[in-house]
Amino acid sequence: MRKMTVVAVAATATIGGAGLVAAPANASEITSAKASFGRLTEFRTPTGGLFYTASAKEAKLAVAKYKFRPTGAKLGYLSAKPFRGGLPLYRLRTNGKSANYLITMSAKERNKLVASHRFRYEGVLGYSSTKSATTRTLLLRVTNGKVWKLALKSQYPWLKKHGYKLDGPLGYVWYRA
């Protein structure tokens, strides 16, 4: 895991009209902080849903305790800490026995889904970037009507051929940590 120093300040930005808005920094984020990157890992749950984490510790627990199986999908890296131009990605879990997970960058969508009582909020998965760069690629949320899946922009044409529809951008992730 590579570490780098970033300075977080309040910022708002959009990505090419995609409506991605950077997370505002709070007072504790205005000082310099060490940012670490976690590999975004996809797991298949025992009930057929998809689970995502950028935490190595949580990934080990998902396998050992919950019997989730890594899919091997290559999804890039997220920052573990807020940064200037960063987007928090929120993880929600469907209520009920059949665990399915949804990732959103929208606090409004998160709040609406939680208020519906169909989902529960599990926390911030990590932070993507609002800015494209040669070291980053666009992360997408897609759905086939049964599950939500994360995919890199380059993976979408194949997924589209297999019945997935674009459900929105989630910012830019790093190719490497």
- What local confidence, expressed as pLDDT, does residue 16 receive? 35
pLDDT score for 135:
96
Structural domain boundaries, residue 91: 3-174
Across the range 159-176, mean pLDDT stands at 97
- Vertex 172: Cα angle to 127 and 62 (nearest 5): 50
pLDDT tier at 35, thresholds 50, 70, 90: low
**Could you tell me if 81 and 2 are in contact, meaning their C-beta atoms sit under 8 angstroms apart?**
no
pLDDT per residue as tens digits for the range 141-165: 999 999 999 999 999 999 999 999 9
Q: Which pLDDT score is estimated for 25?
A: 37
Is the confidence at residue 70, as pLDDT, over 60?
Answer: yes
Predicted pLDDT at 98: 83
Span 40-59, average pLDDT = 96
Q: What is the pLDDT of residues 80-126, one digit of tens each?
A: 999 999 999 999 999 988 889 999 999 999 999 999 999 999 999 99
pLDDT at residue 177, rounded to an integer: 85
Query: Pick from 103, 107, 108, 80: which is nearest to 92 by CA?
Result: 103
| CA dist., res. 147 & res. 142, Å (int) | 8
CA geometry: angle at 58 spanning 46 and 109, to 5°? 80
Please count the structural domains in the chain: 1
> And the tokens for 7?
């300075």
**Mean of pLDDT over the chain:** 84
Looking at residue 19, its pLDDT comes to 38
* Count of CB atoms situated within 10 Å of the CB of 8: 24
